Structure 1
Amino acid sequence: MGKTSDATLHQRILSEIEQKITSGDWPPGHRMPFELDLAEHYGCSRMTVNKVMTQLAKAGLIERRKKSGSFVSQPRSQSAVLEIHDIETEVRALGLEYAYEIGSFSVRRAIEGDLAKLDVSPGDQLAEVSCLHRAAMRPFCLEQRLINLKTVPAAAKPDFSQLSPGAWLLKVIPWSAAEHRIFATGASVDVARCLEIARNEACLVVERRTWSHSGAVTYVRFTYPGDRHALVARFAPVPQ
């Protein structure tokens, strides 16, 4: 087999395995076929397969474990702490298929517990929504959100059929200020069920409040399984 054919076969194997991973056919944690089995399947040398596996590992798509084999990696996302990011963009940046589903939606009056989350008064109208974001069909992030209907009246009857609540808000109303609070916590029973993880498993929580020139817009709590998300901030020294 010539060099051109070797290169073509290498690319074919790489593309087919990448497709299985990014489509979710081989979900995170899936045990990869052994190199000998892949070599036999593709009718090539083990060296060719090894080069593919090395490339996949460098790209962060698989993990190679001594004596155990290779496994599809858990998706690890990175977002800037000071950015208002969209979960769909975050998931697609990982090369994974994105989907979301609305868990609940209701319109109600603000109660005392809401006042610390949003700059509202008791009795103000709020929209409350929760949704689950998925990456390659697996739970990626749980979103729990309050929206101030005084500032965003359209949120009383929103169209979330094409856009998730966060993406919808970014399109409907510009924000002028934001605040993040970031911490770790153990998964509650309800969160564990939604994210398909064990109760009390470590989770990373990002709470955000945003304002527009008209007033408080939204409070949102994003909960990620702790091994699937990282936060990154870029900054520069203050001029002296």
Structure 2
Amino acid sequence: MRAKKAPTLHQQIINDIEGCILSGEWPPGHRIANELDLAEQYKCSRMTVNKALGQLAKANLIERRKKSGSFVTQPQAQSAILEIHDIKSEVQSLGLPYDYGRSSRTSRKATPADIKNLELGDSAEIIEIIGKHFAGPKVFCLEERLINLAVVPESRDEDFTETAPGPWLTSRVPWTTAEHLIKSVGASEHYAKALEIAPGTACLVIERRTWSHNGPVTHVRLTYPGDRHALVARFTPTDPTGKSSSF
């Protein structure tokens, strides 16, 4: 069994500040030490501090104000949460047998498109998994997913033949922020063949990006035939711990 690595200085800064915020030690509006003071405290470069604060801001735990510094964010009274249900549970709720089949798995250096989708550096490595979710004999959803190996290195040893990557990630990686893009498209020849539908059929496409405190985790494109999926939106208090929803 491998020994657990000590956190990097970059991660230690994130962990310490996050701990002070989530414990309530630092209330909303609390001013965080400036970059120079934090760099001196942690004996690291200002760039390392800047990167850590940037990730905390992306997670909506702090707000960075030009010429003023960084502050613990004020909690939002309400936020719109889009519920993306687990695909297996959704299929079973329809009274249909569920199955998942992996079509391909590739480990490679990130392409320009990958870098854009996951906000990665030029030398990043990713895993791309393409698979199909079935409801009975019909393809319910085509999943095209990228996983950032720098944040989820253990995915290198997972083949995703038995388990879809979404539930696998949910059980292993705590996330802080998610972003959804939803659109309707007509099925191209490629997607029509993959989904076993006629070209031009209306499809619902959901693209989701998810981040943890360590950086971007995954980008997934889920393509459904338009008559096989429903979206539910509800309003609920913001949960800064990221314990709800799924990857």
State the match for 2:115 in structure 1.
Answer: 115
SS of the counterpart of 2:88? helix
Alpha carbons of structure 1 residues 221 and 199: separation in structure 2 relative to 1, 3 Å: same
1:138 CA displacement: 0.9
- Listed as ranges, the matches of 1:168-187 within 5 Å are 168-187=168-187
- Listed as ranges, the matches of 1:59-78 within 5 Å are none
- Listed as ranges, the matches of 1:50-65 within 5 Å are none
Q: Deviations over 1:19-54 (max 9, x none)?
A: xxxxxxxxxxxxxxxxxxxxxxxxxxxxxxxxxxxx
1:163 CA displacement: 1.7
Q: Distance between the aligned counterparts of 2:124 and 2:84, measured in 1? A: 25
Q: Distance between the aligned counterparts of 1:236 and 1:144, measured in 2? A: 29
Question: Would you identify which runs of 4 or more consecutive aligned residues in structure 1 move more than 4 Å?
Answer: none
CA contact (8 A) 1:149 1:156 kept: yes
Q: Distance between the aligned counterparts of 2:236 and 2:125, measured in 1? A: 41
Q: Identity of paired residues, percent? A: 53
- Listed as ranges, the matches of 1:77-156 within 5 Å are 82-156=82-156
1:84 CA displacement: 4.6
Q: Distance between the aligned counterparts of 1:162 and 1:172, measured in 2? A: 16
Matched to 2:151, the amino acid is T
- TM-score normalised by structure 1 residue count: 0.63
1:97 CA displacement: 0.4
Matched to 1:174, the amino acid is P
The unaligned stretches of length 5 or more in structure 2 are 1-79, 238-247
Aligned: 1:203 with 2:218: no
The unaligned stretches of length 5 or more in structure 1 are 1-79
Instruction: Tell me which structure has the larger Cα radius of gyration.
Output: 1
- TM-score normalised by structure 2 residue count: 0.61
Matched to 1:127, the amino acid is I
Alpha carbons of structure 1 residues 97 and 179: separation in structure 2 relative to 1, 3 Å: same
Alpha carbons of structure 1 residues 92 and 190: separation in structure 2 relative to 1, 3 Å: same
Aligned residues: 159
- Higher RCO structure, 1 or 2 (CA under 8 Å, sep 6+): 2
